[in-house]
Structure 1
Amino acid sequence: MNTISDVIMVKSERHDVAYVLRICSVAALGGILFGYDTSVISGAIGPLQTFFHLSPAATGWAVSNVVVGCIFGALASGWLAHHLGRRMTLFVCALLFSIQSIGAALAPDFFWFVLYRMLGGVAVGIASAVSPMYMSEVSPKDMRGRALSMEQFAIVFGQVVVFIVNYFIARTASTEWLQTMGWRWMFASEILPCILFCATIFLIPESPRWHMLKGREENARKTLTRISNERHAGSLMNEIRESIGSEEGRSSFGLAGLLRDRNARWIVFVGAAVAALQQVTGINVMMYYAPMVLKTTSGSIQEALFQTIWIGVSMLVGCIVGAWIVDRKGRRPLIQYGSIIMMVSLLVVSWALYSQSTGLLALIGMLGFMFAFGFSWGPVAWILVSEIFPNRFRAIGMSVAVASNWAANFMVAQGFPMISQNAWLNAHFHGAFSMWLFAALGAVAMWFVMRYVPETKGISLEKIEATMMSLAPVRHAPIPDEIDTDGVKSPLTPSR
């Protein structure tokens, strides 16, 4: 039989789930633009290669130049998010996306095309850090996985939408029209989600944790009360206040502070490694170059674009599965099982390429890979990167981690065309070599997470630091000497 105090406590912990999901869905529009902008190139790369007379290296640059912008955007995201706030920074992203969409569509030559795409990359880099940062800061701990999964769902949804748009633009078009005008329409179509993002971004509140960092506690209390209730808001504000610490902690935790803090150095290293390893699994070969890979087995660019839609749909289904189970099963099991399925799927694709099969074997392997990535590395990497950094250096930590993600993305995007079009490798392996390489790197990525990343399911952002340090090498281990906010001695505290 519940006591009155038990009933009050249960009631105090209830959250307005619909409200949280609603404001996260608006922030997730940044993810839709992220997916749309990075994947629009998949349908345009063939016509662009012909229109601008691109070599294999230049073809890689046409794809990967946007990633250079992403790196700069990610590095700038921490400063922008700290000084402008999470919401205003997302609005800046929406403006940059809009400029890029029109500019790339109207580019008179390859130089201007690259310039506008890099500008769009800056927007992607900022959005890829700030959108999940915002979601993690407004989401209660028991639904943070579901809320952050919306970011990956939004990214994949944007990719599926652009795959469909690209297919319908190219479906009945002549090769000549695609090479002169079709690719321009593909880039111009991005303006519609840009307008939607600009129109809705100010319908959501600013992050309460950013308000706390700035000393605007009443604003933070108002948002947290709306998310849950006044009692829970007061309790959480106390935890946030303690995690921020002194007035010095309220200032921007910059590079100097990061270098002085051994816990921060280790956690940022782990976050950056997880973010980079997501890319070396080979995901963006599927997203950027799927039509080029499938064209060798499907026979035409139109059929390859049609098959690419189903690759995106497969990943979308995986994202739905991941969002459903991530707060039930945790982060680590999804990474483990997803990695194994991804490696097996890559071996299937490699066999189809190596044996020069003209059937659906390559597509089946890609579908399996995308589904597994959709429920594992896709959402979980972004969830981990969004929740493993303590409040005092979350902005700079996510900035470094997301920049490392895009740096790895650049290496994959730039290097794949040169590997896939290498005459010696093609003569001996028929395109299978890169799939073997990514399968091996996937094994390394799984090992790293299982060795150095603890389970973070159900842990509040204010208590994440001790959890992260529990798997750190001995030389980085902290020597805590305090009681946590629940009054329970930390498991890392030495016995007296």
Structure 2
Amino acid sequence: MIDASELANSVKHPFRNILKKRNRPQLVMAIIMPMFEILTGISSILFYAHVRFQSMGFKGNASLYSSALTRAVLCRRVLLIGGGIQMIICQVIVGIILGLKFGKYKELSETDSIVVVVVICLFVVAFGWSWGTLGWTMPSEIFALETRSAGQSITVAINLFFTFIIAQSFLSLLCGMKFGLLLFFDGLITVNDADVAKALVLEEDHLRKSR
């Protein structure tokens, strides 16, 4: 590890290197993976879980327990698409329940509330074994030594930037779009899976040609 660290420190101008044409596919992955990871809607689930649960009828500590539960279950292509499909199904179910049974002058029954909590937990589980894990591991594996530090810096910066955007805009979007916001995230997940599948194919072709 010490030798690898010293070798990495010997690399000059990693940001300049990552802009070169031969490193462009890796640069694209460093941008789209963390961006799409956040656009699955996971930040809104984790940041505002207690708000969602409390608005659906869970009182006081119960909403905090529900939030803690979703965090407790957060523990190549097939995984990303499979996880994306599971997340889409979960958000569609929650969106339908909220759209039909929750609104002005209406509250969710205890059974419906439990179903919503379980489905949201399944959403977090799907994220954990797909986008949540691979969104960090894949970018770290595709960079050559000359671009690794720059690539990881870009990955972290993009992730934090879109996390900030979602965190700041979620409540306003929820007030305006209501349950439609979940369907909006479903659309983004669908686009994410399609785009990343294409990007992975291009990346594999690029690596095959470079050997």
Shorter-chain TM band: 0.7 to 0.9
Distance 1:350 1:413 in 2: 20
- Give the C-alpha shift of residue 400 in structure 1: 1.2
- Give the C-alpha shift of residue 302 in structure 1: 1.2
Does residue 1:435 correspond to 2:168, yes or no? no
Distance 1:214 1:391 in 2: 10
Partner of 2:3: 208
Partner of 1:345: 90
Distance 2:169 2:30 in 1: 24
Contact 1:297 1:362 in 2 (8 A): no
- Give the SS at the match of 1:315: coil
1:314-463, aligned counterparts within 5 Å? 314-316=73-75, 331-355=76-100, 356=102, 357-358=108-109, 359=112, 360-422=114-176, 425=177, 431-454=178-201
- Give the C-alpha shift of residue 266 in structure 1: 2.8
Amino acid in structure 1 at the alignment position of 2:47: Y
Per-residue CA deviation, residues 403-457 of structure 1 (Å, 9 max, x unaligned), is 11112112211111111123xx4xxxxx201101111100111112211125xxx
Unaligned runs of 5+ residues in structure 1 are 1-205, 216-249, 317-330, 426-430, 455-466, 472-489
Amino acid in structure 1 at the alignment position of 2:209: L
Which of the numbers 2, 14, 17 marks the counterpart of 1:257?
A: 17
Instruction: Considering Cα pairs closer than 8 Å and 6+ residues apart, tell me whether 1 or 2 has the greater RCO.
Output: 2
Amino acid in structure 1 at the alignment position of 2:203: M
1:185-200, aligned counterparts within 5 Å? none
- Give the C-alpha shift of residue 258 in structure 1: 3.2
1:456-475, aligned counterparts within 5 Å? 468=203, 470=205
C-alpha change, 1:391 and 1:293, in structure 2 (3 Å) is same
Does residue 1:266 correspond to 2:20, yes or no? no
C-alpha change, 1:264 and 1:363, in structure 2 (3 Å) is same
Contact 2:90 2:122 in 1 (8 A): yes
Contact 2:26 2:139 in 1 (8 A): no
Contact 1:338 1:377 in 2 (8 A): yes
Contact 2:54 2:63 in 1 (8 A): yes
Percent of pairs with identical residues: 21
- Give the C-alpha shift of residue 492 in structure 1: 1.8
Partner of 1:61: none
Contact 1:335 1:446 in 2 (8 A): yes
Unaligned runs of 5+ residues in structure 2 are 103-107
- Give the SS at the match of 2:69: helix
- Give the C-alpha shift of residue 264 in structure 1: 1.7
C-alpha change, 1:210 and 1:468, in structure 2 (3 Å) is farther
C-alpha change, 1:469 and 1:338, in structure 2 (3 Å) is closer
Distance 1:399 1:276 in 2: 14
C-alpha change, 1:394 and 1:252, in structure 2 (3 Å) is same
CA RMSD after TM alignment: 2.1
C-alpha change, 1:491 and 1:332, in structure 2 (3 Å) is closer
- Give the C-alpha shift of residue 273 in structure 1: 0.5
